[in-house]
Amino acid sequence: MVLKILGKKYSLLIIGVLGNNSAMSFNDIKKSVGCPRSNLLSVRLKEMSSTGIIKRDVMDSHPVSVKYSLTEGGKELRGNLIPLFKWIECNC
């Protein structure tokens, strides 16, 4: 299931961006990854949350805010993806 999600558009970017920050709002993630469609980003975040890669924290504030961050498993996954990210940066 995780491999299926990682192959989808924006998944690797989301992991990379969240790994560089402690927690981010939906709009901050959207700006950072350059995702033009909110519904696509929303689907990716739900998929990644359901597999335990990211966690979704609803803040008890007014208005309600939601922050996304990597789980411990997501951090481990990102650590294993760093060589891939470096290769992409150098070769693409």
Task: Tell me: pLDDT of 68 over 80.
Answer: yes
Maximal C-alpha separation, the chain: 45
pLDDT at 35: 86
- What is the chain's mean pLDDT, rounded? 93
Give the domain CATH number at 41.
Answer: 1.10.10.10
- CA distance linking residue 21 with residue 64, whole number of Å: 21
- CA distance linking residue 16 with residue 34, whole number of Å: 13
In a domain, 33, yes or no: yes
Total number of domains constituting the chain: 1
In a domain, 37, yes or no: yes
Task: Tell me: pLDDT of 62 over 80.
Answer: yes
